[in-house]
Structure 1
Amino acid sequence: MYPKSQLLRGLALGAVMLGMAAPQAQAQTPDKKTAISLYGSGYQYKGNYGSNFWDRSSTNGGPGISFNRYLTSGIDLGLGLGYVELKGSQAGNPANNFSTNVVHGNLAFKFKLNNGWAIKEDAVIQPYLTIAPGLAYFSRESRYRGANTDENATNFDLFGAAGINFRLSDGIGLFIQTGQHIPFGGNIDGDLVRDDNRIDDRFLQHTAGLTFALGQMKDEDKDGVSDKKDKCPGTPAGVAVDPNGCPLDKDGDGVPDYQDKCPDEKGLAALEGCPDRDGDGVRDSEDKCPDTPGKAALGGCPDADNDGVIDQNDKCPDTPAGVSVDANGCPLDRDGDGVPDFQDRCPDRAGPASNKGCPEIKAEAKKVLNEATKYINFDFNKATLKPSSYSKLDQMVQILNEYPDYSLSIAGHTDSKGADNFNLGLSYERAASARAYMLSKGIPSERIEARGYGETKPIADNATAAGQAMNRRVDFDPFLTGETNAAEAKYGPAPTIQEIKSEGKVVPTRKAAVKKAPVRKAPAKRK
């Protein structure tokens, strides 16, 4: 065998070469750029004593180690160190034999076919080609024609190989490789007869081993997928992801499971991944009417009349918009008179539908109002109330207090004697005087309207004294507040005292010339 010093010197040479190349070691993946490979190889000699290529019975085994560094998707750089003891003898002349220890170190340029063009970079099967120049140290003990030809030598070695890496995981690969070493000028067998091309001795190396990626991949969101492969960076911590680093979405609705309230049913993003088969914006799991479009506020059920009661519970399904309803969807009727509040002019006091839900004025009160005109008297040719009128006006005040839903129309009239403007002004002022008295008793001003019609609305023939007396009157007519003024309904439109004054106009004057003045002044009659 060879002296230990020689063997150690060969191993030291390989270690130095390995150390020099380690900083440029080849990576297994773009995420873990540095890797180490451990392997075993079968070596087969070919030289002056013949060829053992592809002869398993003449194979010598040896260990190896390499460091690798990822450069690009198509190229890795590595350094491999291997050892083997090659043995052999000349066919037919066993006296010519050799036993040679070989330590070789090669700087490998690995050309990967899984570069993303033809084969994906993270494919399971990853073929490659390698060209690896280096050095081979030979420590030989040999006999040639009865003489020892021992030698220790270092030669330039060119190694070419083809292989396949099987990706077991992101950090582990299994590879197989076959290649040939050509040590230029190397004499493996000790035969002193050499070829001129200096490559008559060479050897095959058949290798199988494991590659382990070193270091940690960059993964900012800590989802287990490297940033280079992560198509969904920034995934929240703890969220399960697919191989692309995107949150899992089992039902494929575009809403990731960790945000999907219905992860097993395809749904809508607007509803946190839950389905809505009637398209009303309420998820089916919360929709009380899942097959009929409805309103979110009503649990997804329809409400055709928009009264807040779902159709299936609505006993009055055609309630007008904006009307307040009870639990059954029917319009409220606070006073229980059968007239719904939205149609009831008096929603807090019961009354018949014929009177719009308001209480009717009793017959006795109506009689007082109808006969009041007989008892309201004024000073002659003036608008000043006589004290005898007060009791009747007080009665009417009491009636208005008993029936707060009613207003009162006061219309003043005169006979045809005198000028038109005089009569019109007098009728206005007499109606206004009656109104002013009642307002002084606490009746709100908006509940009494006073109008004057002068001599335009007679109820009897002005040609007779009796007819004139009947035409000189003040009418008192009640009407539901908000309805048409009773005087206007009877006699037609005429501005109220309030309207005349609010417009800045002057109430028709009484200081007008008397029309149709007689030749002889006749005694004035009481108005």
Structure 2
Amino acid sequence: MKHLSRLIVLSMIVLGISSASAQDENNPWALSIGTNAVDFYPTNNGAPLSNGFFDEYFNAGDHWNILPSVSQLTVGRYIGAGLVAEIDGSINQISDFGDRAVDDLSYYSVDGSINYSLRAMLNDGWFDPVVGIGGGYTWIGNQDADDLENLDAPTLNGSLGINFWFTDNLAIFVESKYKHAFEPEMGQHFQHSAGLKFMFGGTDTDGDGIYDKNDECPETPGLPEFNGCPDSDGDGIQDSMDDCPNEAGLAEFNGCPDTDGDGVPDPEDDCPETPGLAELNGCPDADGDGIPDNEDECPEEAGPEENNGCPYEDTDGDGVIDPEDDCPEVAGTVANNGCPEPTVEVINELNEYSNTVLFDFNKATIRSESEKALNSIIEIMEEYPNTVFHIGGHTDSVGSDEYNLKLSKERAASVRQFLVDGGIPANRLTSEGYGESRPIATNSTEAGRQENRRVEISLDKDKEMKDSNM
């Protein structure tokens, strides 16, 4: 119990001193417990090393003093560049002092050292040779006998040891330390030790088992394969490189899923659960009209965008869709933009009415009895809202050419104005006078001259062509 209490006191001293060491981030501390053997051979009664430095170095049976219990405690602190600062305390019982037998002298020592690990030079494997240098203080004597003078002296130490690492934190160690005492009577000696070494003290802020020094995400629990960074969705892509860290996805989409398998990742897919087209942001287009089904009011029928994806109607069934049909409710012809074109019969009917139009003598004034015929002409023209009509004025040969031409123009203009006043758009009516240049009967008889004095209505093809090219 006496030795055990002293070992505990030494351990407290060791821990107290070592706590002042500089800190490292990754497993900086080591605690070793073991047993030790002290060999005072060769001492030759105080003549150090007189028989040779390693004479009978391995003669454990004759010279080694071994305390068969836990008799050594060591605390180490990594200080960088492969160097470890250590302080250890040990106890023993000395019965062989070199070649002399003694009466179980007590042995106590406290030693400090700087050790250099060769493990990094050997690729950080399980085999870890260590060399060290340091110093300490050793006490030897019979503590129960007041008449015996106890020996104590500082020592200069050199050591060589090997750590055998089973894991990153656990090793078996063996060490041999030479102690050169600065008290000749004590003699020089070896102290051999073996035991277990535990590494601890590394900082692991997030508790993921990866020390902060090697952890690229030290404040977030992660995985070893990602150097301590997390993969929240378990898709094999660490969160910092995953565009969708909370949804398992594919590497080709930077960790985002493609639920419908259309090649468009869900964050870019407006229809993530329905296979679609990339050019439509992942939405389908069943009718192929370029409008995605979710925006298409007629998804099964192709139609233009301006009609919300629906085909245009052809209300009058004339083959011209309503938006292009100038007469959407009246059947017409494609050539006339969906409006009806007057037939020969219609033109003849117009001219039957126009031939009854009478003017005051030698004037362009329309006589009142002709208004009924002109109103009939208006009714017929209104049935053809996309047709341009031409009004031609003609005279007989009585009078000069100049006068007849002027009169025919005025009469044609008078008819045009009446029709405009009656509701026919002015841009659908043209007029011209031709005088006596276009007779349809002989001017030699009164009957013939009567036929030549006329107003004719025809289709203005040149005007229609001109308008269609505008």
TM-score by length of 1: 0.63
Q: Tell me what 1:158 maps to.
A: 158
Task: Give the one of 73, 81, 101 matched to 2:107.
Answer: 101
| Distance of aligned partners of 1:351 and 1:393 in 2 relative to their CA distance in 1, 3 Å threshold | same
Could you list the per-position Cα deviations for residues 198-232 of structure 1 after superposition, in whole angstroms to 9, with x for gaps in the alignment? 64x11122231222216x4567xx98866654546
Note the 1:116-515 alignment, pairs <5 A: 119=123, 125=126, 127=128, 129-141=130-142, 150-165=150-165, 167-168=167-168, 173-185=169-181, 199=188, 201-213=189-201, 216-217=203-204, 229-231=214-216, 243-248=226-231, 250-251=234-235, 259=244, 263=248, 265=250, 267-269=252-254, 272-274=256-258, 279=263, 286=272, 288=274, 293=277, 296=280, 299-301=283-285, 303-306=287-290, 324=307, 331-335=312-316, 340-341=321-322, 344-350=325-331, 357-358=338-339, 368-380=349-361, 382-401=363-382, 403=383, 405-415=385-395, 429-446=410-427, 448-452=428-432, 454=434, 458=438, 460=440, 470=451, 472-477=453-458, 486-488=459-461
**How far apart are 1:374 and its partner, in Å?**
0.6
Could you list the per-position Cα deviations for residues 321-361 of structure 1 after superposition, in whole angstroms to 9, with x for gaps in the alignment? 6685886xx54233456654356443234568797654677
Residue type matched to 2:284 in 1?
A: G
| Distance of aligned partners of 1:326 and 1:257 in 2 relative to their CA distance in 1, 3 Å threshold | closer
The 8 Å contact of residues 18 and 81 in structure 1, kept in 2 or not, is answered as no
What is the alpha-carbon distance in structure 2 between the residues aligned to residue 488 and residue 457 of structure 1? 21
| Distance of aligned partners of 1:229 and 1:88 in 2 relative to their CA distance in 1, 3 Å threshold | same
**How far apart are 1:133 and its partner, in Å?**
1.0
**How far apart are 1:390 and its partner, in Å?**
2.0
Could you list the per-position Cα deviations for residues 403-455 of structure 1 after superposition, in whole angstroms to 9, with x for gaps in the alignment? 37444413223358688887666555444433332333344444x22232635
TM-score by length of 2: 0.69
Percent of matched pairs sharing the same residue = 21
Could you list the per-position Cα deviations for residues 31-73 of structure 1 after superposition, in whole angstroms to 9, with x for gaps in the alignment? x7x53x33212212333268575959964342414151443xx
What is the alpha-carbon distance in structure 2 between the residues aligned to residue 21 and residue 393 of structure 1? 125
Could you list the per-position Cα deviations for residues 207-260 of structure 1 after superposition, in whole angstroms to 9, with x for gaps in the alignment? 31222216x4567xx988666545469x9x788895324442755578866816
Q: Tell me what 2:36 maps to.
A: 43
Q: Flag structure 1 segments of 5+ consecutive residues without an equivalent.
A: 478-485, 500-527
Q: Flag structure 2 segments of 5+ consecutive residues without an equivalent.
A: 43-54
| Distance of aligned partners of 1:23 and 1:177 in 2 relative to their CA distance in 1, 3 Å threshold | same
Aligned length: 441
What is the alpha-carbon distance in structure 1 between the residues aligned to residue 411 and residue 223 of structure 2? 92
What is the alpha-carbon distance in structure 1 between the residues aligned to residue 392 and residue 327 of structure 2? 29
| Distance of aligned partners of 1:492 and 1:15 in 2 relative to their CA distance in 1, 3 Å threshold | closer
Residue type matched to 1:136 in 2?
A: Y
What is the alpha-carbon distance in structure 1 between the residues aligned to residue 400 and residue 291 of structure 2? 60
| Distance of aligned partners of 1:267 and 1:284 in 2 relative to their CA distance in 1, 3 Å threshold | farther
The 8 Å contact of residues 125 and 165 in structure 1, kept in 2 or not, is answered as yes
Residue type matched to 1:79 in 2?
A: E
**How far apart are 1:13 and its partner, in Å?**
8.2
The 8 Å contact of residues 326 and 332 in structure 1, kept in 2 or not, is answered as no
The 8 Å contact of residues 326 and 386 in structure 2, kept in 1 or not, is answered as no
RMSD of equivalent CA atoms: 5.3
Worse-superposed segment, 437-446 or 123-132? 123-132
Residue type matched to 1:488 in 2?
A: K
| Distance of aligned partners of 1:273 and 1:280 in 2 relative to their CA distance in 1, 3 Å threshold | closer
Residue type matched to 1:374 in 2?
A: N
